[in-house]
Structure 1
């Protein structure tokens, strides 16, 4: 595929659809230097963005947690996403909406006088983990940990929070893995680099309590699906050693959708019936 800066199509920037190759920012953009940026990853199925409005609301909330305001309402962001999908002729696509502090009078840590920029891009994107979605992903265990809520706004989908994700995923891929699993600052199981995690034992589901990482919209959707099926869900702190006793495992996320996990470090899991059923039901839901 072509590099992301050299494609045909349109990108929505600050209220206007511009040619893809012209969607540029200055090198002194504040976000490039100080990570003052938030974003959303969304998927459009059959012309409809799954939970699109919820994503727009969260984008604004993330910005607020980083002490800036997105200059568009959630409804205006919704309309912009529809416009860029239509402009690119896409019905099944990934959608990336993002907001950041741009270039202005300030170029130090403080940037209150700089304008907030907003852009939305969309492109075709298949399975995030490739064929691992069917046979089970293999995960490394990251050396980095998810930080304490006292150190950073963990409820924001903020660019700066993904720095350790990039490093951890690179290290995992170098070992032949699809992704990496983080522990949190206390040593409990947390999440993968861009997805939440679920485990199955004796017909019940266990998933880490999201008190220091993002409570993903896909995670919330899947928990609702499980409860609708009368499956007990335990949201709790999980010790790493407990993984030895879990039978099944899967990841959830907008990009990951529902992806089974076959191995984490030295721990192995079956791609069992519950995992397959939830993945199938989720696929039906997002396309309904």
Structure 2
């Protein structure tokens, strides 16, 4: 694959389609200096973006949480995604919608006079964790912790909240792992760097309560699927000492979809029947 700034195709930007290589911003863009940016990761299957409208709604909500208003309605965002997919001739694709404070009259922490800009890009993207979907991902345990909601707007899908995720994933990859699991500021199990986490014990499912990290759309979808199957789901605070007692584990996210986990630090998990069932069921659901 070529670099992401050197590809053929089109990117929707501020209301029009731009040639891929020309979809640029100025070096003094506020978001580049102060992380005033929000985004969505979405996947299209067979020409249809899964949970598209929910993602568009969350993009606007995320912007509001970090104190700016996207100048496009949900309907206009939906139309933009459809337009750029058609322009690039893609039906199965990853969709990245983002909005940010651009370059303007302000170049300090405050930026109310700067325009809010938006773009949508789409590209082909395979399995986020490679062959982990069959053998189970290997996770490191990050030294960084998810912050208190009094410290950062944890329910926004905001660029700045991913800084510690990037560092955690780099450290994990250096150890031969696919990703890292993070604790929260209290020491409870939180999530992976870009995916929510689930555990299985004696046929019941346990997943961290999303009170200081993003309550993912895929996470919510999988919980609903489990409940439809009559599986008991516990959304609660999970202590690190409990990891030893869990039998199965998986990750959820738009990019991750449903990915089994085989190891977290020194703890091992089987890629069991419920994990495989949820991965297969999710794959069927998104293609309905």
Distance in 1 (alpha carbons) for counterparts of 2:134 and 2:218: 18
Number of the residue aligned with 2:53:
53
Number of the residue aligned with 1:92:
92
Distance in 1 (alpha carbons) for counterparts of 2:126 and 2:107: 38
C-alpha RMSD over aligned residues? 0.3
Number of the residue aligned with 2:196:
196
SS in 2 for 1:156: coil
Distance in 2 (alpha carbons) for counterparts of 1:215 and 1:133: 22
1:51: how far off?
A: 0.2
SS in 1 for 2:61: helix
Distance in 1 (alpha carbons) for counterparts of 2:197 and 2:18: 38
Number of the residue aligned with 2:42:
42
Give the TM-score normalised by structure 2. Answer: 1.00
Number of the residue aligned with 2:131:
131
Post-superposition Cα deviations, 1:137-183, rounded to whole Å, max 9, x if no partner, equal 00000000000000010000000000000000000000000000000
SS in 2 for 1:160: helix
Distance in 1 (alpha carbons) for counterparts of 2:181 and 2:170: 13
Distance in 2 (alpha carbons) for counterparts of 1:133 and 1:120: 28
Distance in 1 (alpha carbons) for counterparts of 2:4 and 2:250: 29
Post-superposition Cα deviations, 1:70-125, rounded to whole Å, max 9, x if no partner, equal 00001110010000000000000000000000000000000000000000000000
Post-superposition Cα deviations, 1:217-265, rounded to whole Å, max 9, x if no partner, equal 0000000000000000000000011010000000000000000000000
Distance in 2 (alpha carbons) for counterparts of 1:108 and 1:148: 25
Distance in 1 (alpha carbons) for counterparts of 2:201 and 2:75: 41
1:194: how far off?
A: 0.2
SS in 2 for 1:2: coil
Give the TM-score normalised by structure 1. Answer: 1.00
Distance in 1 (alpha carbons) for counterparts of 2:75 and 2:156: 20
Distance in 2 (alpha carbons) for counterparts of 1:190 and 1:151: 16
Distance in 2 (alpha carbons) for counterparts of 1:47 and 1:121: 15
Distance in 1 (alpha carbons) for counterparts of 2:39 and 2:81: 13
Number of the residue aligned with 2:231:
231
Distance in 2 (alpha carbons) for counterparts of 1:256 and 1:242: 24
Moved over 2 A (4+): none
Q: How do 1:141-180 residues align onto structure 2 when only pairs under 5 Å count?
A: 141-180=141-180
**Gaps in structure 2 of 5+ consecutive residues:** none
Number of the residue aligned with 2:242:
242
**Gaps in structure 1 of 5+ consecutive residues:** none
